[in-house]
Amino acid sequence: MAVRFDVITLFPELFAPFQTVGVTRRAFETRAVDVRLWPLRDHAEGVYRRVDDRPFGGGPGMVMLVEPLVRCLSAIRASQQADGAERLPVVLFSPAGKPLTQQRVEALAASPGAVLLCGRYEGIDQRFIDTFVDEEISLGDYVLSGGELPALTLMDAVARLQPGVLHDAASHQQDSFSDGLLDCPHYSRPEVLALPVREGGEPAEQPVPPVLLSGHHAHIARWRREQQLAITARRRPELIEAARARGELSKKDEDFLRGLTL
């Protein structure tokens, strides 16, 4: 089953290059992730195809108008119906939304898809949001110029989870957040490098941790788990507490954390 994204945007040209580069291009080439772009100005009226106006009550910025959005969404619904697709939820990218998590990405990757609404200007007329938007998503506590970058971020995160996209199907299972913790460090050739501890310092030999060269899979697995626990505890302790609340930490995990110096 393909994941379909109908994207409402004022800047459709931002999306084409993204779909042709990197490992995730496979998802778009095979239509495992089917992206349909809906330029909002195509659904605006008048000589200037206006999609925004000044806010009632005054203040800076412009507000996206309801009517072009309604016409665009109606065209999307007609297209979905013609294709035999089910009604997809409307997702708005907004600072007021819930933070995007790996768990939400995984749910979307296994779903039929969504309508992605990329806002611009000061915002969208609240009446459209109240009537048509099913979910609001935020990338973090900061403001971007529009919803296109969050839409691309979401599409990338979903695309890489599709079967056949990554060279190793198990790769994403070891990503940060896939098991609720941050990822462990990774190393490759050569086995020893002469590098300063920090740029500008004196070079020193930095070997790969010996356990990774041991060939002992159980020891390697335990080392990686302990590295995950240590990095997460030091940088994102709230993730440790969340994992503990879900009952996902073993006795070995808890023993290791008790002996960890933060």
Q: Please report, rounded to a whole number, the percentage of residues in the chain having pLDDT higher than 90.
A: 88
The answer to whether residue 150 scores a pLDDT higher than 90 is yes
Among 52, 68, 150, 160, the active-site one is: 160
Distance from C-alpha of 173 to C-alpha of 102, rounded to nearest angstrom: 11
Structural domains of the chain, count = 2
Confidence tier at 134 by pLDDT (50, 70, 90): very high
Q: What is the Cα 97 distance to its own chain's centre?
A: 14
What's the whole-number mean pLDDT along residues 62-74? 97
185 in the same domain as 135:
no
**Closest-CA residue to 158 (of 102, 119, 115):** 102
110 in the same domain as 71:
yes
Among 31, 45, 95, 210, the active-site one is: 95
Q: Identify the pLDDT of residue 177.
A: 57
What's the whole-number mean pLDDT along residues 115-133? 96
Neighbouring CB atoms inside 10 A of 209's CB total 12
Beta-carbon contacts of 78 under 8 Å, excluding residues fewer than 6 positions away, are: none
Give the end of a domain, one of 159, 193, 223: 159
Q: Identify the pLDDT of residue 1.
A: 80
The mean-pLDDT minimum among 78-92, 120-134, 187-201 falls in 187-201
Q: Is residue 169 part of a domain?
A: no
Q: Is residue 54 part of a domain?
A: yes
Confidence tier at 175 by pLDDT (50, 70, 90): low
Q: Could you confirm whether 235 is annotated as catalytic?
A: no
Q: Is residue 201 part of a domain?
A: yes
What's the whole-number mean pLDDT along residues 127-154? 96
Residue 118 C-beta-side C-alpha neighbours within 13 Å: 27
The range of the structural domain enclosing residue 204 comes to: 176-258
What's the whole-number mean pLDDT along residues 233-252? 96
48 in the same domain as 140:
yes
Confidence tier at 199 by pLDDT (50, 70, 90): confident
Q: Identify the pLDDT of residue 178.
A: 62
The mean-pLDDT minimum among 28-42, 81-95, 196-210 falls in 196-210
Q: Could you confirm whether 95 is annotated as catalytic?
A: yes
Q: Could you confirm whether 122 is annotated as catalytic?
A: yes
208 in the same domain as 153:
no
Give the end of a domain, one of 124, 159, 194: 159
What's the whole-number mean pLDDT along residues 36-59? 95
Among 122, 136, 183, 226, the active-site one is: 122
The mean-pLDDT minimum among 36-40, 110-114, 139-143, 153-157 falls in 139-143
Q: Identify the pLDDT of residue 262.
A: 80
Among 156, 175, 179, 226, the active-site one is: 175
List the CATH number of the domain containing 242: 1.10.1270.20
Contact 37, 12 (CB under 8 A): yes
The answer to whether residue 172 scores a pLDDT higher than 50 is no
List the CATH number of the domain containing 127: 3.40.1280.10
Give the end of a domain, one of 130, 159, 188: 159
The helix (run of H) or strand (run of E) holding residue 115 is strand 113-117
Q: Is residue 100 part of a domain?
A: yes
What's the whole-number mean pLDDT along residues 152-176? 76
**Closest-CA residue to 191 (of 175, 221, 174, 211):** 211
Residue 91, token pair as written in the block: 């997702």
Q: Is residue 170 part of a domain?
A: no
Q: Is residue 164 part of a domain?
A: no
pTM reported for the whole predicted model:
0.84
